[in-house]
Amino acid sequence: MAERQSFNYNTKNIILWHYPGYAGGNVIKNSLGLSDNVVFQKQSLAQAQIDSNFSFNDKKEYILKQLENEDITSDSWGDLDLGCSHLFMVGRDSSLISYDKASQDDPMPGIFEGKQHCEINDTVRFLSSESNDNLLFSLNWHFNKLTSRNFPNAKIITFINNVQMINHRCSLMSKVTSGISSIAWDEGNLNGRVPDFTWNTEWLNDVDATMNGIKELYRLFNLDGWEQAEPFIKEYYHLWCEKNHLPMVQKNT
């Protein structure tokens, strides 16, 4: 039997998204995920894209279907059933899986520390490998301080001016994790690392600023499909604003 390949922590294929929870990073991340060069944060969907069975239209349909069930005021915000655990871990493709059961041998803390783990699935092992030369994948880094040693070749997107957005979203959630707003930060500690891009969360207050920022990320990472994705990204942005009860929706419609 062939030896199972390790996860490659030196990969150039990973994007570290450095922002505190509830800052709105997922709407930007998923907009990049509409490109044929980026996978969604879900193992089954990422594998389907690797196998050429998950198209741009499939991605649009997935986002729209998942958004139907999201509303920040009803405590049903599920990040489109996408996330780090969903992408990285064996058997955690869906948020419907019991977190208590799944966390008994949770590799995610070790992943942030650069450790190998048998529960890192084969999809992300491939995505991190040198055999993958055209697909980027994502890892959320919600800690204030970015590690100086792990993922040394990662692409880094750091977010600034986050607190106002976090306070707005958390104020609408009755069951929000205790203390989220109190640990929010406007600018994190990059530990001497230089980001590839700095996203200003205040851009989410304006459709043009948001679209220009996403367009620049497509250009920066040489992603295919901007012309195809642009109209839907604008639609997705407006739907996301509506679901988060953001006042800028009225200004830009």
Which structure tokens are listed for 84?
């780090």
The residue ranges of every structural domain in the chain are 14-252
Contact call for residues 116 and 7 (beta carbons, < 8 A): yes
Q: Which residues of the chain have pLDDT under 50?
A: 96-103, 249-253
pLDDT at 3: 72
Give CA–CA dist 179/202, Å, rounded: 22
Q: Tokens 């604003």 belong to which residue?
A: 241
What does the pLDDT look like over 62-86, one tens digit per residue? 999 999 989 998 876 889 999 999 9
Give CA–CA dist 105/103, Å, rounded: 5
The SS3 call for residue 208 is helix
**Strand pairing report for 14-18 and 137-141:** parallel
pLDDT at 147: 86
Please identify, in words, the CATH class of the domain defined by 14-252: alpha beta
Contact call for residues 15 and 140 (beta carbons, < 8 A): no
